[in-house]
A and B are shown apart, each in its own frame.
Chain A
Amino acid sequence: MSTSRRTFIVTLGAVSIVPWLNAQATPEEATDAIKKILGGAKPRNGRVNLEISPLVENGNLVPMTVAVESPMTQADHVTAIHIVAEGNPLPNIVSFYLGARAGRAEVSSRIRLMNSQRIWALAQMSDGSFWQGYAETMVTLAACTEEVLI
C-alpha cells in the first residue's frame, strides 16, 4: 500500500496525541472506588501484605501477591480482597472472594500498571471490618500506551 505524505503526517499526528487522550485515574478516583468498596466502613492499617516489586520494568505483566493475616476459621476469615490502583485509567484492578474453605488468605496474579504509583489492597473480614495495606512501585515501561498493529 502506498501512503501519501499527507496521510502519513495526519496519522503521525493522531498517534502522538492518542496516549494523552487516555485520561488516567487520579488518587481521588481511587479514593472514590475505595469508598464504594468500604460502604461507610473505616479501614484499619495492617494485616494486609501486598507484595509487588518496587521497580517494575514492564507494566504490562506485573506479578503481585497479596496475603492477609487471618486464622481462616468459620468464625474468623477473610471474605474479600480488593486491589485498587491510584494511577491506572481505571482504579479497580481485581477483586478476590474467598472464605473459610480457602485455608490460607493468599492470592497471586499478574496485573497491568500504567504509571509509577501506589497500589492498595483492601481486605474484608467475616465480621465486616476492613484492613488495608499498600505497595509503592516505579514503572519504567507503561501498559496501555502501545499501539495495536492491525
Chain B
Amino acid sequence: MSKTSRVVVSMPKTAKKGEIIPIRVIVQHDMESGFRHTERGVLVPRDIIRDFVCTYDGVDVFRAELHPAVGANPTFSFFTVATQSAMLEFKWSGDNGYASSLTSQLVVT
C-alpha cells in the first residue's frame, strides 16, 4: 500500500446557519488486519489506518480511532452543525507513514 491514497468526501456545499449537515467520507485502503496468511502460511503484517479526524475551522468536530476490525476502504457517515462559512479539513493517518487529507469549503447562509 502506498503512503497515500484516494479519498472522497461528500457533503453539501451550502447550508443554513444551525442546520445539521450529513458528511460521508471514504478512503482507499486495504486495512490489512495482520491476521491473514499467505498460502505458504506466512503472516501478512498489519497495515491499517489508525486515525481519522474532521476539523471545522480548526476545531475538531469528529474523530475516529480505527482498529483492524474496520473493513477495507473505511467509510464513515456522521453529522455536524453548520455554524459559519469555513474550511472543513479531513485527515487520515496510519501505519508505515500513511497520511492523506482533503479540504472542502462550506458556505453558510
- A and B part of one assembly: yes
Which residue from B62, B67, B72, B76 sits with its C-beta under 8 Å from A92?
B67
Task: Pick the 3 closest A-B CB pairs, nearest first.
Answer: A14-B41, A103-B20, A108-B77
> Which applies to chain A's interface (DSSP): helix, strand, loop or mixed?
mixed
**Closest Cβ neighbor of A109 among chain B residues:** B76
A10 to chain B, nearest CB (A): 9
Counting chain B residues whose Cβ lies within 8 A of the other chain, the interface size class is 20 to 34
The answer to whether the Cβ of A93 comes within 8 Å of any Cβ in the partner chain is yes
> Which applies to chain B's interface (DSSP): helix, strand, loop or mixed?
strand
The answer to whether the Cβ of B74 comes within 8 Å of any Cβ in the partner chain is yes
Let me know if A102 and B81 touch, CB within 8 A. yes
The answer to whether the Cβ of A1 comes within 8 Å of any Cβ in the partner chain is no
With A11-B39, A85-B69, A147-B39 already in contact, the answer to whether A94 and B79 are too (CB < 8 A) is no
From 56 to 90 in chain B, residues with beta carbon under 8 angstroms from any chain A beta carbon are: 56, 59-72, 74-81, 83
Which residue from B35, B37, B61 sits with its C-beta under 8 Å from A102?
B61
Let me know if A112 and B69 touch, CB within 8 A. yes
**Closest Cβ neighbor of B37 among chain A residues:** A18
A20 to chain B, nearest CB (A): 12
> Which chain B residues lie closer than 8 Å to A143 at the CB level?
33, 69
How far is it, in angstroms, between the C-alpha of A39 and the C-alpha of B72 when the chains are bound?
31
With A93-B70, A96-B62, A144-B33 already in contact, the answer to whether A107 and B78 are too (CB < 8 A) is yes
With A95-B64, A101-B83 already in contact, the answer to whether A144 and B75 are too (CB < 8 A) is no
The answer to whether the Cβ of A55 comes within 8 Å of any Cβ in the partner chain is no
From 28 to 61 in chain B, residues with beta carbon under 8 angstroms from any chain A beta carbon are: 33, 35-41, 44, 56, 59-61
21 pairs of residues in contact across A and B, judged by CB atoms under 8 Å: A61-B71, A90-B68, A92-B67, A93-B70, A94-B65, A94-B66, A94-B69, A94-B70, A96-B64, A98-B62, A104-B79, A107-B78, A108-B76, A109-B74, A109-B75, A111-B71, A143-B33, A144-B35, A147-B38, A149-B38, A150-B39
How far is it, in angstroms, between the C-alpha of A33 and the C-alpha of B64 when the chains are bound?
17
> Which chain B residues lie closer than 8 Å to A85 at the CB level?
69
B22 to chain A, nearest CB (A): 9
> Which chain A residues lie closer than 8 Å to B44 at the CB level?
148
